[in-house]
Amino acid sequence: MYLLVMVLDDVSHLGDVLNAWTEAGVPGITILESTGVNRVLQRHMPEAAFAGFSQIFGGGRVGHHTILSVIGDLAVAEQAVAATEKVVGALNEPHTGIVFALPIAQVWGTLNKVVG
C-alpha cells in the first residue's frame, strides 16, 4: 500500500483533479487546505500593506490543496498522475503541483478492506 499525495498549486483545478483521480481508481480521497512558505512570506512583505480590502480580510488568500489517498499499488498512482497532467499540464512545469507516493507499512481501520 502507498500514500498518494498531491500538492495542487492552482486550486481552481481541484474538482477536475478529484474527478480524474476517481476515474483513475483512487479511493477515499481527503483534501486539506494548505500553503507553502513562499506564499506566506509574500503575504507578509511590505507591499502587502497596500493590498486591497479582500486580501486584508482573508478573501484574497492564496494557497494550495493537499490531496491524500491510500492506494493499493503504484499502477494506480501512475494512472492518477497521467490523469492529473491532462488537467493541470505537465507536472514538471511551474505552478502545477507535485505528486508523490510513499510506502505504508500498516493500516488500521476500515480502509484496510478497501485497498488491502
pLDDT at 44: 61
103 located within any domain: yes
100 located within any domain: yes
Indicate the range of 44-48, 67-71, 80-84, 96-100 predicted with least confidence: 44-48
User: How many domains does the chain divide into?
Assistant: 1
pLDDT at 54: 44
- The C-alpha cell at 89 is 499540464
Higher pLDDT, 36 or 13: 13
54 located within any domain: no
Give pLDDT tens digits for 34-79.
877 766 666 665 555 555 544 444 555 568 899 999 999 999 999 9
pLDDT at 86: 98
24 located within any domain: yes
Q: Which of 22, 28, 18, 24 is nearest to 112 (CA)?
A: 28
58 located within any domain: no
40 located within any domain: no
Decide if pLDDT at 87 tops 60: yes
Contact 76, 4 (CB under 8 A): yes
Higher pLDDT, 52 or 84: 84
Domain that holds residue 103: 2-34+63-115
Q: What is the CATH number of the domain that holds 111?
A: 3.30.70.120
pLDDT at 116: 52
